[in-house]
Structure 1
Amino acid sequence: MLKEERQNFIMKQINLHNKVLSSDLCVKLNVSEDTIRRDLNELAGSAKIKKVYGGAMSKSFSHTTGIKETYAQDAKRQIAKKALTLINDGMIVLLGGGTTIMEMARLIPKDRRCTFFTVSPVVAMELIEYSDCEVILLGGSLLHDSYIVTGSMVINQLADIKVDLCFLGTNAISLQNGITDSVWEVVQVKKAMIKSANKTAIVSIAEKLNSDEKMKVCNLNTLNYLITDIDPTEQMLSPYIEVLNVL
């Protein structure tokens, strides 16, 4: 594979999953760690990505860069609009982190009267700016690569609440392995979030369908809704409709 093709693949993975691990890229591309290190250095040097410990992350997901562009933003706004149809006045809603959830926070109608819990400080900031709802930020150790709180403190807090509906983003989703992620701390928080909710909706652009990461969050039958940017009648969603309510 040529360097340009390799770096295009890396950019695609970063845009889809927000963060990639160097070790995973070595396996997927069948190249050495030195090759991946050089690729990441070049991409970071051209301001296309942000290098982090063990890999790289999207600059659009980095809260410190000032960049407001989001990969597939139109698609994520479409998902957000669908997701908001599930939220009614008086509900208690739990939100995860990620760029699709942030689009949801920006589109919540001003006259909507709900209580929102979230594990993401940046999502909390969006909620405060764009809505008049009550916002409760759960506490814990801030995971700087994902901008969500993790650890026993937040998991204990989640065990003490019961929400009507939880919205989660995902790094990967497939029929065989369900919802998967690449970060152990994130997996544990997502499991606790699902347990605290009467119903759970996964929000995901269609590009992430039929993909897997190394660490499992849950099976699909644990969830209630799948919300994507494509029409539910699309053929690729047919197998998912057998397990979930697809919007």
Structure 2
Amino acid sequence: MLKEERQQHIISQINIHNKVLSTDLSAQLNVSEDTIRRDLNELAELGKIVKVYGGALSKSFHYPFSGREIYNKDGKKEIARKAVGLVEDGMVLLVGGGTTMIELARIFPENIHCTIFTISPLVGLELAEHPNIAVNLLAGQLAANSHIVTGSQVISQLSEIKADLCFLGTNGISITHGISDSDWEVVQVKKAMINSASKTALLSISEKLDSMQKMKICNLSAIDYLLTDLDPQSVLIEKYASIVSVI
């Protein structure tokens, strides 16, 4: 594979999954980790990615308020529109982090009265001016890469909440491996969020379908709704509809 092709694959994986690990890219592309590190350094110098220890982040994930770099922004807006349709007046909601959740916060209807708990300061800021929402930011250690709070303090607080609905993002989703992520601390928080809600809606761009990260959060059957940018009747999502309600 030519260097240009290899680097395009790297950018594609970073855009889809927000974060990639050098070890995973090395295995996918069958090249040395030194080669991957050189690629990441070059892409970072060109301003196409954000290099971090052990891998890289997408620019839109690391700088979500810039707006210009958001990957598949139209798709994420469509997912957010579908998510709003699940919200009912008076609900208690749990909301995760990431660019799709920020899009959801931006279009939240002003006539809806509800209480929201979130692990994302960025989501909380977007919702702060909403006239009819009580926004509660859960406390914990702020992760520099994902901009969400993690740790035992967050998990303890989540154990005291019983939300009507949890909006959750993911880095990987497949029939066989379920919902997965590449960060152990994030996995623990997402597990706690699912346990703290009566129902869970997974928000994911369709390009993440049939992908798997190394750390499992839960089986697909633990999720109540799957919201993507696809038409629910699409053949690309047909197999998921037998396990979870596809919207």
Q: Which runs of 5+ in 2 are unaligned?
A: none
User: What are the residue-to-residue correspondences of 1:1-40 with 2, within 5 Å?
Assistant: 1-40=1-40
- State the partner residue of 2:134: 134
Cα RMSD for the two superposed structures: 1.3
| Structure 1 stretches of at least 4 aligned residues deviating more than 6 Å after TM superposition | none
Contact 1:106 1:130 in 2 (8 A): no
| 2:61 aligned counterpart, secondary structure | coil
The structure-2 alpha-carbon separation of the partners of 1:133 and 1:151, relative to structure 1 and needing over 3 Å to count, comes to same
Corresponding position of 1:149: 149
**Counterpart mapping for 1:131-210 below 5 A:** 132-210=132-210
Match of 2:227 in 1: 227
Q: Give ranges in structure 1 of 5+ residues lacking alignment.
A: none
User: How far did residue 184 of structure 1 move?
Assistant: 0.4
User: What is the match of residue 104 of structure 1?
Assistant: 104
Q: Percent identity?
A: 59
Distance 1:63 1:131, change over 3 A: farther
The alpha-carbon deviation at position 64 of structure 1 amounts to 8.2
Aligned-pair CA distance for 1:132: 3.9
Is 2:64–2:99's contact at 8 Å kept on the other side of the alignment?
A: no
In structure 1, C-alpha distance between the alignment counterparts of 2:50 and 2:239, rounded to whole Å: 36
1-structure distance, mates of 2:237, 2:193: 25
Query: What's the TM-score, normalizing by structure 1?
Result: 0.97
- The CA deviation at 1:69 is 2.7
SS of residue in 2 equivalent to 1:87? coil
Structure 2 equivalent of residue 238 of structure 1: 238
User: Is the alpha carbon distance of 1:62 and 1:232 closer, same or farther for their aligned partners in structure 2, counting shifts above 3 Å?
Assistant: same
Q: Would you say the 8 A contact 1:165–1:200 is kept in 2?
A: yes
For the pair 1:89 / 2:89, whether they are aligned, the reply is yes
User: What is the TM-score of this pair, normalised by structure 2?
Assistant: 0.97
